[in-house]
Amino acid sequence: MVARIWGSFGARLWVLLLVALSADGWGAKYYVAQNAAGASDQNAGTAAAPMRSLSAAMAVATPGDSIEVADGVYREAVAWPGDDWENPNVRLTLAAAPRARPVIKGSEVVPGPWRRADVALTAPTGQPPAIYSAAWEPYSTMVFVDEAPLKQIGLQGSPVRAEKATNFKYQKQWDGRGAEDMRPGSFFYDATARRLYVWLADGGDPAAHVIEASVRDVGLSLRGTWTVRGLDVRHVQDGLWPNEQAAAIAGNGCAVEDCRITHNDFLGLIVSGEDCVIRNCEIGYNGLCGMTSNLGYRMVVEGNEFHHNGWRGDVVCLTYGNKWVQWRESRFLRNRFHDEPATALWFDINVNNVLVAENTFENCNVGVYFEISRWGVIVDNVFKGCGRAIWVYGSDCLVAHNVIDGCGEGITVSGYPRTATYPQSVVENATADCLMAVRNNLVVDNILIDCPGSFIGVTEPTPYGWGNWSDYNAFVWTLAPYHRTGAHINFLNGWNSLYATLPIWRMERHQDTHSVVVDPGLLEDVRSGSPWVQLAESELLPEAGFVDRVGGDYRLRDDSPLRGRGVALPLELSAHYAAGPDREVVSRAWAPTRLVDAPDPTSAKPVYGTPEDGHYRLQPLPPTRSILTIDPSSPGTPGLNLQWRESGEYPHFAPGPPESAEPTDWVLYPENLVSDPSFAKPLAEPAARAEERVWVGGGGMHTYVGMLCANLMAGQRENVPAFQRVGTIAAGCEYLLHADLTVASRMPDMAGVAMLYLAAGDPSHPIGTPVVIRVGPGKAVEWSSYDTQVRTGATGDDPNVGQDLLVVVAGRVEGPQDAQSPDAVVLLRCDDVWLLSGQPRG
């Protein structure tokens, strides 16, 4: 089936998989059997004379070799000293022996002796606490009683993280302070006395149980082309980067199969590289992320079970659950996500051309989150009991043929404009910012059942949110109707504006004009002549007609009234995705270019500027387009697409030329000018040069909405203005200027200042009171709204009347005069500029 998914990508991957599956045994084979008689690390590692530890086998293994592991608990940090990243044809294998299930543990057994501790509880329970303690030297962040975890009391997680990490700290760093705050099912480690305290859930004596405490911060660490099969990795604690992952495998052509990565303190599984497969694994109960990765190209995640990841809770940087960054041309197929307190499947930054199909999501906070990314296909999945099923915060994404049952919110396509670091290649360390938009997303042929928060939410049609569309969906309500007009079937405009009925949603946003409602109560009201529902009887259905909704079978019966109420979708999407050589995305829409001598738009190789010869400019937004040509005369059926499932063929983006926006398209001048001398010094003749410095591109900044971004150099100590003429100042008029300002200092000794104001004639002549925002060194002010209000006088009384009205944004750097940096030290952004004008009342 893999060979049929997404054409040449799948074909190439299938060849690599055949190589991977046939590679075992090409070189030497080493046997590890911890419990075998005569096992010793001094043995040759044969079947008759096996080694005792995995580390001994790793020390002698070379590319082409395999290691077979017998049953046992291997309490060691397992790492291979080599690093053969680029050679997928020479494979190493680490696999469980037939019918064996070896376990790598980051814990050690606490030997005791245990003694009853006399502890006065902060919150007495009415009975003596059953707390026991034992001497224990290492600092442990996890304790297990017969494999069941205890709750940590005191500082949560690693003390090194709490003391040294600048981010990725837990929001709630403390839960109690000492043994006096313990409760049944908890433990506390006294680092001063070097004693471990436990209170078992049943109040029992720990001497009658196996007590294990975490001591190692690495479980499995491999670089190269590896097959890892049939291993468990547990009890690995957090040691702060780079020692914070239970299992990390990096290389091209790797395979991780039938493994269990569970009950670890921070990160569970990390697989990075190209053409890797993660299949049939269980990934659960990992403290921050179950699986995460910052680099992947043509990867497959298939048939895995993810659950209970992020049990430590949220962190300061809002990252937890299962998260993938910068994965391209990859597939997530037939996985089961359940009981995820965080985000089950989170794509964040530069995840391009991914397929998410045939997965199930049950009781997850968020099912799929597609953030700051492009070219996604999210189809044929089932979401049940999630807080939000699907959230698209990117562009060019198809959300189709999914079934969403009993989720708080169904499908949300929304997000504010923001910047993102967008390398062109998955191995590039570029630091260029691009403008992220929410554009060209299509929501079609989905069945949404009982979503009381909202069924569909689509962002406002701003320049950052054009081209998003929802239609041909089915909205099913099986609960008791609580409003006879249909106000229980809600829709969201952006984040906060609620449209309470489908007719209002259609009228205000022109969305879902062909969608239907399954609601027997509303159908009865319409048939009885109610004027309030405002839906035709033909678009109200009495039932959905599932085979067995209670049992989780969301196929439609042959007699389902939903059959034919959707639209047929082609396999090739209208939008182009150009896959470049050497892990690249060929796109001029988000790639950095130079100020001078911009590269040929058809070139597959981007040209990157330096402070000496150019700069990173803010690139054009994705062009507004439909990613799918819909033929209304070709009816289809919403819900699961059984034909796609049987064939394994899913919609894919059309091959074609790269986006070829001109270097000046959608550029707002001046912006991102790192070394342009005209921007680094004050204007010599502001009024005369006003036309030269107009913001341009797609209408530029006008009286509705706009954006400006500037990277300020260390030498820019005077206000550097950027402005646009928006008309002539009228008499007796009131002007209200609104914008979101972001100012961020990137240096520990440099501060940033931003100003927003209206000016008369030239930018050095403000009218009204300017908004001034100052941030200290290394600080930032983000996404805050500011307003300035101006009222003009009568003609002849107000000297500003009749002059050019300018909207001005200015910025400067403050700090030591001798400070120097080849890079920008302060980022200034101005988003969502609104200028309202009119005659005041009264």
The type of residue at 346 is W
Q: What are the extents of the domains in the chain?
A: 108-214, 324-577+629-656, 677-838
Q: Measured at the alpha carbon of residue 187, what is the angle toward residues 182 and 188, in degrees to the nearest 5?
A: 80
> Which of 710, 744, 694, 740 is closest to 618 using CA atoms?
710
- Mean pLDDT calculated for residue range 250-277: 95
Arithmetic mean of pLDDT, 439-453: 95
| CATH fold of the domain at 677-838 | Jelly Rolls (2.60.120)
Please, which contacts does 598-607 make with residues 24 or more away whose CB atoms are closer than 8 Å?
598/663, 601/658, 601/660, 601/661, 601/662, 602/657, 602/658, 602/660, 604/580, 604/658, 606/424
Q: Which two tokens stand for residue 213?
A: 């405490």
Amino acid at 132: Y
**pTM attached to this predicted model:** 0.79
Nearest-angstrom CA–CA distance, 99 and 239: 33
- Please answer whether residues 450 and 350 qualify as being in contact, where contact means their C-beta atoms are separated by less than 8 angstroms: no
Residue 576 has pLDDT above 90, yes or no: no
For the stretch 408-439, pLDDT in tens is 999 999 977 665 666 666 665 554 455 567 88
Residue 739 has pLDDT above 70, yes or no: yes
With beta carbons less than 8 A apart as the criterion, state whether 720 and 740 touch.
no
pLDDT digits (tens, 9 = 90+) for 557-575: 999 999 999 999 999 998 8
CA distance 783 to 331: 34
Least Cα distance to 570 among 646, 652, 458, 504 occurs for 652
Give the span between the Cα atoms of 438 and 436, in whole angstroms: 7
Neighbours of 24 (CB within 10 A): 17
Rounded to whole angstroms, how far apart are CA atoms 833 and 807? 9
pLDDT higher than 90, residue 741: no
707: pLDDT confidence band, cut at 50, 70 and 90? low
**DSSP character string of 330-369:** EEEES-EEES-SSEEEEEESS-EEEEEES-EEES-SEEEE
Q: Which of 133-137, 527-531, 545-549 has the lowest average pLDDT?
A: 527-531
Rounded Cα distance between 139 and 150, Å, is: 15
In the structure, what pLDDT confidence band is assigned to residue 602 with cuts at 50, 70 and 90?
very low
Q: Given pLDDT bands bounded at 50, 70 and 90, which one contains residue 694?
A: very low
Mean pLDDT of the chain: 83
Closest CA to 565 of 488, 646, 634: 634
Tell me which of 99-113, 271-285, 751-765, 774-788 is least confident.
Answer: 774-788
Q: pLDDT per residue over 384-396, tens digit each?
A: 999 999 999 999 9
Looking at residue 724, its pLDDT comes to 74
In angstroms, rounded to a whole number, what is the distance separating the alpha carbons of residues 568 and 566?
A: 7
From CA 419, how far away is CA 358, in angstroms rounded?
32
Residue, of 695 and 581, whose pLDDT is higher: 581
Q: CA of 767: how far to CAs of 563, 686, 702, 800, 803, in Å?
A: 63, 16, 19, 8, 11
- Check the CA dihedral 431-437-442-446 and report its sign: positive
Q: Is the peptide bond before 242 cis (omega within 30 degrees of 0)?
A: yes
**Three-state secondary-structure class, residue 162:** helix
Going from the C-alpha of 752 to that of each of 313, 324, 744, 774, the distances in angstroms are: 34, 33, 7, 6
